[in-house]
Amino acid sequence: MSTMKDFLLPDLGEGLPDAEIVEWLVKEGDTVMLDQPLVSMETAKAVVEVPSPFSGTVVKLHGQAGDVIDTGAALATFAVDPNLPQRAEAEDTGHHHAPKPKSAPQPPSAPSPRERGEGSAAASAPATTAAVTTSAPADRADAGTVVGAMQASNEVKHEAAIAIGGIKAMPAVRAAAKKLGVDLARVRPSGPDGVITMQDVKHAAANPSALATAASSTPAQAAPAATVPTSPSHRASGDRAVVRGNDPYTADPRSLAGKPVRTTPPTVQASGQPEPIRGVRRNMARIMAEAHAQVVPTTLCDDADLHAWTPGNDITARLIRAIVVACKAEPALNAWFDMANSTRTLHSRVDVGIAVDTPDGLFVPALRNADMLDARMIREGVNRLRAQVEDRSIAPDELKGYTISLSNFGMFAGRYATPVIVPPCVAIVAAGKGRHQLVPVMGGIETHKVLPLSLTFDHRAATGGEAARFLRAMLDDLARAN
């Protein structure tokens, strides 16, 4: 006789309060086996497949794609079949339905890229993942991650792309395609063995006309497109609207070149459409709000004189080296602060969190042991972290544990800033856009290139004098020729 059981959404890692349903891999009435992929869920950390905790029949699915489910709330109801394999009552699955209590300060955690997930509307069957495992000798404690019967270990697993509906793509690529509204069936793959890469999806999202061109070669995939004239102002600017099918009133709000076009007269006031904040961006909003409520920030600003620099200096590498020098001169800013326990932890190593801007939100991967790296190794490390963030292959452990942060916002615009410190860190350095300015010298005036610096520190944990000496050490190191 079958027994009815509810499957409650487990904590998918590090005490996250909820997760969003990306795609159900089963439907009501299906018979599922123990640990069969059940649903793809997106958290602030990743997109993961949640396996079935039971063998039996799916009676009810509590939510649809796009719904946000709280940790500990019902996700699915099963009619458990006692004749099928079941997990023993005492078997450790790693399931936890509430965050673990924390007795010590934790390293800062930034939003994580998608690790695993399914996002293609063309997929009707669950994907399988081929894994190659490399074992390590050391054992690890339970990490509190709740995905089926996963046990914590030092094993390294590499995912392989598996074809679903004739389309080969990694789970993270499928999730990105769904979020960007890209039909993977119309994307030309550039990866080995016909695998669609993250770059293919980004290119398709940025150039929708390429998709239309690809579809025109296969009439069964898309209806023919026709061009109709728009308002006189549109004809004057060379914009056109694309009509799908036989309805001349359903216009695509993009030109044939893939650029947005105005769909209402300039005299008509347009109103925006609210959209839910999800995934990485939602977690970013939560972390920023918590940081604003906890930290007592104070910012010092100054300009570093780069006049003595010889050709070939890497600005990012020099900034990180200057931070390392300043951390050794004034360790109080290379620290973590725990107000609840009234403790401060000074670090001997320097792990620099590098702020990386993406369309999904802010990521802060950690450049480990920056105090042991030369300029070439720093550049290689930064490039590697940026590439891993962009293609969502970075490990979650690389997005936490940094001891001080760097934001190089000047590569876009702006001179000075008041960057936000994410606890338990004590300080963050921000570099603005370099410029040339007149500098008085003995006997006249010279034009020097200067780099604006902003140092925000938590005044609960560091004094103004400590912060000023830290900034002074950075300025002195940046003034050196190389």
Residue 424: asked if its preceding bond is cis (omega within 30°), the reply is yes
Q: Is residue 276 part of a domain?
A: no
Q: Are residues 128 and 20 in the same domain?
A: yes
Q: Are residues 337 and 406 in the same domain?
A: yes
| Residue 330 lies in domain | 281-478
Q: What is the 3-state secondary structure (H, E, C) of 89-151?
A: CCCCCCCCCCCCCCCCCCCCECCCCCCCCCCCCCCCCCCCCEEEEECCCCCCCCCCCCCCCCC
- Give the pLDDT confidence score for residue 215 in this predicted structure: 45
- Give the pLDDT confidence score for residue 91 in this predicted structure: 52
- Quick one: DSSP state of residue 53? S
- Give the pLDDT confidence score for residue 12 in this predicted structure: 78
- Give the pLDDT confidence score for residue 463 in this predicted structure: 96
How many distinct structural domains can be found in the chain? 3
- Give the pLDDT confidence score for residue 18 in this predicted structure: 81
- Give the pLDDT confidence score for residue 45 in this predicted structure: 58
| End position of a domain, from candidates 119, 135, 160 | 160
| End position of a domain, from candidates 129, 160, 191 | 160
Q: Are residues 389 and 474 in the same domain?
A: yes
Q: Are residues 241 and 181 in the same domain?
A: yes
- Give the pLDDT confidence score for residue 101 in this predicted structure: 46
Q: Is residue 272 part of a domain?
A: no
pTM for this prediction: 0.55
- Give the pLDDT confidence score for residue 59 in this predicted structure: 93
- Give the pLDDT confidence score for residue 14 in this predicted structure: 59
Token pair of 306, please? 């780069």
Q: Are residues 231 and 303 in the same domain?
A: no
- Give the pLDDT confidence score for residue 243 in this predicted structure: 47
- Give the pLDDT confidence score for residue 343 in this predicted structure: 95
Strand 47-51 versus strand 167-169 pairing type: unpaired
| End position of a domain, from candidates 160, 188, 213 | 160
Let me know: does 467 contact 404? Beta carbons within 8 Å: no
What CATH number is associated with residue 85? Answer: 2.40.50.100
Tell me which residues of the chain have a pLDDT lower than 50: 90, 92-105, 110-152, 156, 212, 214-251
Q: Are residues 153 and 178 in the same domain?
A: no
Cα radius of gyration rounded to whole Å, the chain: 26
What CATH number is associated with residue 461? Answer: 3.30.559.10
